[in-house]
A and B are shown apart, each in its own frame.
Chain A
């Protein structure tokens, strides 16, 4: 590989959670990551380790990834005890190795939650999020001719807030970083993006009730306003969305 300007190479000790399946016992295994370019992403560093493991005839580390552009929500792991690593507002794929120093030790663990079953190594099953979305994270629209784009007016502020909530990529970092493994930031964002817009209003009550009920049934923890989720969220979604969920749910329940 040719070296780019300003590029450095570092060596790391990487401790990764290895677990062959959901029911077998897992353990931390130590690997040496050598000559890692500081321009690489964290996932590319894992790719390098995996290439070496494959050449040695060993099983590569399983981890989720897809777009590698920070927009799909597939990747994610706890890096040194923090969801998506040390950088604020960054997904694991967008975390670059320049944020690490030579001879650092990096501990990588999967998301831990009762609702996210471990599949293998760093891969967890986040279909619990899909179930919450299926419970009410949609609007019902009749098919037919396309409606006039300006027929329903949306205030700019509401549109901006809805867009901020809709930035959620469903990666699960909120659940992983929450001391209680609560999914309130995810559900708060998904309820908010509709509750703020006129198109979401007709089903707002039903949606808040159904999504919270599903979240509770899936045994996510309870929010205790620790604010770790908003600090860990790669899309920096605010806990004001959790307050809006609380309002929507209580309004739907009591009135």
Chain B
């Protein structure tokens, strides 16, 4: 087999793919959050931000294709890892306790991942693949968030993303081999702060939007 493919197909290679794609998504989340924060500047600022973003045209399409590619790699590799790990212990323990290594985030990674995939598909249907001819971006979000059920679902999804990222971010550094006693405690703190930032940053948005609509 070609050395490149056999490297990526090894257990460490699969982890490398999860780590790099995951880190890219963390960067995307930061950019997405920064853009969404323009909501706090009022309707006009948010609409202007959305228009400027769409005006980038081909660059946006390129980023969308890249994100789709990263998502396919992340999801497929995650499925292979999950299946491989499930098969690695055919006979389960009758009694099994954690010895203190696992966190809620790490223990639920595959499940929060599947939930997020569902959420992202719904999110795209609500905000991206929608007729934008006769309504502004702000109208689209305020219409969607007018349903309290959707607001609830959205906020739960943000908590789920927070947990996924709380393990994912530091774990990505470990997977690419970047574990050093000087930096690892800092990376752990950054992961927690980042997950709180993402969870709260996005999570509070629908409440604010409902209030000002």
Contact A245 B102 (CB under 8 A): no
With A113-B88, A181-B85: A225-B107 Cβ-Cβ less than 8 Å: no
Q: Which of these binds chain A: B33-41, B65-73, B145-153, B167-175?
A: B167-175
Find chain A residues with CB under 8 A from B101 CB.
226-232
Is A239 close to B, CB under 8 A?
yes
Would you call A28 and B85 a contact (CB within 8 A)? no
Q: Is the CB of A78 within 8 A of B177?
A: no
Bitwise, A70-104 to B at CB < 8 A (1) or not (0) is 00000000101111000000000000000000000
Using an 8 Å CB-CB cutoff, how does the interface string of B35-55 with A read, 1 for contact, 0 for none? 000000000000000000000
Closest-CB distance, A100 to chain B (whole angstroms):
15
Q: Mark the stretch among B5-13, B24-32, B131-139 that contacts chain A.
A: B5-13
- Chain B residues contacting A112 (CB-CB under 8 Å) are 89, 91-93
Q: Are A213 and B10 in contact (CB under 8 A)?
A: yes
Q: Once the chains are docked, how many angstroms separate the CA of A202 from the CA of B100?
A: 38
Min CB–CB distance A185 → chain B (angstroms): 11
Contact A224 B87 (CB under 8 A): no
Q: Hey, which chain A residues are within 8 Å of B171, CB to CB?
A: 224-225
CA distance A225 to B167 in the complex (A): 9
How many chain A residues touch B (CB < 8 A): the figure is 51
Residues 138 to 191 of chain A near chain B (Cβ within 8 Å): 177, 179-182, 184
Q: Cβ of B175 and Cβ of A222 under 8 Å apart?
A: no
| Contact of A250 with B12 in the complex, beta carbons under 8 Å | yes
CB of B16 within 8 A of CB of A250, answer yes
Decide yes or no whether A61 CB sits under 8 A from chain B. Answer: no
Contacts of A216 in B (CB 8 A): 10-11
Q: Which residues of B contact A184 (CB under 8 A)?
A: 11
Residues of B within 8 A of A181 (CB): 85, 88-89
Residue A244 lies at the interface, judged by CB distance under 8 Å to chain B: yes
Interface status of B209 (Cβ within 8 A of chain A):
no
Query: Would you call A109 and B93 a contact (CB within 8 A)?
Result: yes
Bound-state Cα–Cα, A239 to B95, Å = 25
Interface flag for A219 (CB, 8 Å): yes
CB-CB under 8 A from A231, the residues of chain B are 99-101
A residues 192-237 near B (Cβ < 8 Å) are 212-213, 215-216, 219-232
> Which residue in A224, A227, A230, A254 is a CB contact (below 8 Å) of B109?
A224
Interface flag for A48 (CB, 8 Å)? no
Q: Which residue of B lies closest to A79 (CB)?
A: B95
Q: Is the CB of A228 within 8 A of B175?
A: no
Chain B residue nearest to A219 (CB atoms) is B88
* Contact call A226/B107, Cβ cutoff below 8 A: yes
Q: List 17 A-B contacts (CB under 8 A).
A: A112-B93, A114-B87, A115-B88, A180-B88, A182-B85, A215-B11, A220-B88, A221-B84, A222-B14, A223-B11, A224-B171, A225-B171, A226-B102, A229-B101, A240-B181, A244-B179, A246-B15
Interface residues of A (CB under 8 A from B): 17, 28, 78, 80-83, 107, 109, 112-115, 118, 177, 179-182, 184, 212-213, 215-216, 219-232, 239-240, 242-250, 253-254
Residues of B at the A interface (CB closer than 8 Å) are: 3, 7, 10-16, 81, 84-85, 87-102, 106-107, 109, 167, 170-171, 174-181, 184
10 A-B pairs closest in CB distance: A227-B101, A247-B177, A221-B88, A243-B179, A81-B97, A180-B85, A246-B177, A228-B101, A181-B88, A231-B99
